[in-house]
Chains A and B, each alone.
Chain A
């Protein structure tokens, strides 16, 4: 097990290193000098030069890359060109919206997908199965931002149960904050729930064909008991992998959904920063998200190897 962990850790570090190189190089390609952009057209050359050295722009590219990476490792994500505040502060404020949103959506998709997938699998080929599968086809085809608009139209504008956008803030109380995240989370969860339902169903169907399931029935368990006690636990392994993968989609999806609901999360931060050419923020936030995705994949792999010993030797 330990050897497997080391190997995965090594490949994780390589991925992160190359990813940071790619992000740095891509952002460096941008023409124009942030310092003169910040100071405007009429700035004195020596003021620009002073700001350049303050921001570290006068250093060589390798030195700046090194500075950026070592800074990030210590929690220093650089200074926003536009707001002159540490990027880390801007990120940590918004993280408390994006992260709960993604987790809320993940939870919702699990709560929807597990019963739906189990139900469809246990009624294989029947009406329930066909209905559930039909809905999953729709769920995959509906763009989540459009679904979000429909939710706003119905639940916020027509029924007035929720606000159409904005974030109450965690200071307003847990449930007020959660309420303003509900519609975004539902919108975000829909396609993921549809995918997860399909995985749950097909994974259960695979297990249902195994010999031990016949044995379970033969020793007198009802179909329902056998399903819940034996099939479900075995079917969960691939489902867990997909849940891990979905985290990266949820993060990407959150970027768009935050725009629909005017939530001041990481997604809004990225788009604002692009509009203001505040590329150090884009650079650091993108890297942070890549880090989150890679870490989650890593942890899921470990959990997977821990549950299923066969995998430790294969990879």
Chain B
């Protein structure tokens, strides 16, 4: 029944993705040119979402800002998967060995730090910026994928087809890559979608407090931060970037829910 949520989720995400891609070749206005005479305009036919305190077109900034959000969240998921999945596979293949122990204790450690604290520490030391935001969010993704992979892989290791592969003389590494990994791709995709949406939220939060992408790169979080001082004067400035975030996160969550039910029929009961 949840299958229905794939479609609206995918539609929302497609809109955001297309907006981001189109912004590489075309935006209604240039986001780096200031047009002070036209500052703080309310939505009109020319500026669909109005203009900000520098007279920049909000719609254009949202389109370019989508690039920042998507890039940061996507690379952060990539880091999480790229490091976490191999660690999880290794821990499952060498169950109860010191590798397993180190991976699991490392997980506990990262879970003890709220993600934002890691980000704050990293930016405190290395300075604010999109790259450090990616690292901060990515580090927190690692234990999520490691734990998920380990759990799923452990249950696979007890199955007959893995036993058959072992009897056939395949090593732990080959079994992990050839037999375990293909069988956990589904849950990885679903978790990836969820972490992607959390990454969008985290990036927005970080750039809101000034620890994310730096000017002049537009980002949704910083657009909200900028709008805060002008909130009595131009409430529409605070409205659209927030809606863009909600739109994207909602889309990803719906997509994730739908994908989970579609890819894993065993979970296809109403929860």
Contact = CB atoms under 8 A, between A and B. Distances in A.
A174 B11 CA distance: 49
A240 B224 CA distance: 34
A39 interface: no
A249 B116 CA distance: 9
Given A19-B113, A124-B270, A290-B113, A152 B124 contact: no
Interface stretch (B26-34, B49-57, B153-161, B244-252): B244-252
A308 to B, nearest CB: 20
Contact of B125 (A11, A26, A271): A26
Given A26-B125, A150-B242, A256-B209, A145 B120 contact: no
Which secondary structure dominates where chain A touches chain B?
Answer: helix
A128 B152 CA distance: 35
B117 A138 contact: no
Interface residues of A, number: 48
Contacts of B120: 255, 270-271, 274, 282, 286
Given A19-B112, A143-B245, A153-B238, A256 B270 contact: no
B109 A27 contact: no
Contacts of A26: 121-122, 125
Interface string A149-173: 1101100010000000000000000
Contacts of B114: 248-249, 251-252, 289, 293
Contacts, number: 118
A196 to B, nearest CB: 15
Given A157-B231, A202-B271, A248-B114, A23 B109 contact: no
Interface string B225-237: 0011001100100
B253 A15 contact: no
B108 A15 contact: yes
A69 to B, nearest CB: 16
A303 interface: no
Nearest to A152: B231
Interface stretch (B36-44, B71-79, B182-190, B200-208): B200-208
Contact of A149 (B105, B116, B224, B250): B224
A265 B62 CA distance: 32
Interface string B100-122: 00000100110011111100111
Contacts of B123: 274
Contacts of A282: 120-121, 124
26 contacts: A11-B105, A15-B109, A15-B112, A18-B105, A23-B121, A27-B121, A30-B125, A124-B270, A140-B253, A141-B197, A141-B253, A145-B205, A145-B224, A146-B241, A149-B224, A149-B231, A149-B238, A150-B238, A205-B271, A252-B116, A256-B209, A274-B120, A274-B123, A286-B120, A290-B113, A290-B117
Interface of B: 105, 108-109, 112-117, 120-125, 197, 201, 204-205, 208-209, 221, 224, 227-228, 231-232, 235, 238, 241-242, 245-246, 249-250, 253-254, 270-271
